[in-house]
Amino acid sequence: MIFLADLARAIRIPAEFDFLGLSSFTEDRSDRTRGLSVRFTSHLSRPIEGRHCIIVEDVIDTGMTLAYRTATLGARRPASLAVATLLDRPQRRLAERALAFRGFVIPDDFVVGYGLDYHGRYRESPDLLVARERPRA
């Protein structure tokens, strides 16, 4: 949401914003592709049919959740559907999706701050910080 807020202040054309919540997890944490479950935690408040839409993400990692999100939203027949992300980790990609807007490509480090958290902590940091150790899943 921090990235979206900064992006919203920089946009110079009329725009509306809505929120869609997704949660993803794997049954087998040793295999990122097996048993992936995605569920909606909140839904859009308005229809998107015939509208130009941009999905705004903080980090694109494996791309699995994004693939689910774009397929689900694409079925709602928007006029266009693009993806913007602040951070991209292409080396972890399992499902490809074209990114219309990308802020930074980052290595396979675990980052917190600027709205990104680890167990609900560190979101308040105004900077992106690399964790010394990658948290265990």
42-55 pLDDT tens trace? 999 999 999 999 99
Nearest Cα to Cα of residue 88 among 101, 107, 105: 105
CATH architecture type of domain 2-106: 3-Layer(aba) Sandwich (3.40)
User: Which amino acid, residue 5?
Assistant: A
Among candidate residues 104, 107, 126, the one with its CA nearest the CA of residue 116: 126
**Of 6, 18, 28, 61, which one is the catalytic site residue?**
61
Every domain of the chain and the residues it spans: 2-106, 109-137
Burial level of 48, CB count in 10 A (0-12/13-18/19+)? middle
β 129-130/111-112 pair status: antiparallel
Give yes or no: 6 in active site. Answer: no
pLDDT recorded at residue 118: 87
Please state the pTM of the whole predicted model: 0.84
pLDDT tens by residue, 80-123: 999 999 999 999 999 988 999 999 999 999 999 999 988 888 99
Looking at the DSSP bridge assignments, the partners of residue 81 are 53
